């Protein structure tokens, strides 16, 4: 239903969807909010492999796979630096732990009851957490089907490619384009990301 809707609503996107093949909407999955947000903080502005390495070192330094608020509160700056965590991200992790331990961080169940704007408002109170980070959580952890990350470079580049635009659309222009994709803007975002990857792969052949 979602793919059919997008093809009808935006034939140009539909052409790329046919090239790319079937992608599925993200599915909700259980998650621990401190762990998920800590991972997002580490991954900001880093390539995937580097971020994965640093996050793995952080997990080891904390003594387990799950990153908890108590473990973050106990670890010292020397150990964070040894794991490759920058000073700015260390401050963000400390603020995340403080929010969790003082019960100012909503639980996953509470987040489920919030709309997207409410979740963004609550979680961006944490240092280092911006709207994009919350949107990734909403999309990939909570399985929200109508999320459009307006500031995302890949989504904007995909929209430029799919619609043959002279320049990358501004967030406002992307929002206007995205009206046609409601209520499945998450799936449209996945296709826009994949369109950019497909174009790169074609160039490299």
Axis crossing angle, helix 11-20 with helix 185-204, rounded to the nearest 10:
60
Question: How far apart are the C-alpha atoms of 201 and 84, rounded to whole Å?
Answer: 31
Q: What is the DSSP string of 149-185?
A: -TT-HHHHHHHHHHHT-SSPPPHHHHHHHHGGGTT-H
Distance of CA 83 to the CA centre of its chain: 23
CA distances from 175 to 76, 131, 145, 180 (A): 42, 15, 16, 10
Q: List, in order, residues 6 or more apart from 169 with CB less than 8 Å away.
A: 156, 159, 160, 177
The catalytically annotated residue of 10, 79, 115, 152 is 152
Residue 197 among the catalytic residues: no
* Angle 109-178-131 from CA coordinates, rounded to 5°: 45
> CA end-to-end span of the chain, whole Å?
33
Contact in structure between 170 and 182 (CB atoms under 8 Å): no
136-147 burial, b if ≥16 CB within 10 A, otherwise e?
bbbbbbbebebb
Give the residue numbers annotated as catalytic, written as ranges: 152
């Amino acid at each position: 239903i979602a793919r059919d809707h997008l093809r009808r609503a935006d034939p140009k996107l539909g052409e790329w969807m046919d090239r790319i093949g079937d992608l599925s909407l993200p599915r909700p999955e259980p998650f621990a909010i401190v762990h998920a947000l800590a991972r997002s903080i580490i991954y900001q502005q880093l390539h995937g492999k580097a971020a994965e390495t640093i996050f793995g070192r952080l997990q080891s330094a904390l003594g387990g796979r799950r990153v908890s608020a108590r473990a973050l509160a106990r670890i010292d700056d020397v150990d964070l630096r040894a794991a490759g965590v920058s000073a700015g991200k260390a401050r963000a992790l400390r603020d995340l732990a403080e929010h969790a331990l003082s019960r100012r961080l909503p639980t996953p169940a509470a987040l489920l009851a919030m709309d997207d704007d409410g979740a963004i408002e609550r979680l961006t109170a944490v240092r280092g957490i911006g709207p994009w980070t919350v949107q990734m959580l909403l999309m990939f952890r909570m399985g929200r089907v109508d999320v459009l990350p307006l500031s995302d470079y890949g989504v904007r580049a995909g929209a430029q490619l799919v619609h043959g635009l002279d320049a990358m659309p501004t967030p406002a222009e992307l929002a206007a384009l995205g009206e046609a994709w409601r209520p499945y803007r998450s799936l449209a975002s996945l296709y826009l990301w994949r369109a950019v990857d497909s174009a790169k792969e074609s160039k490299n052949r």
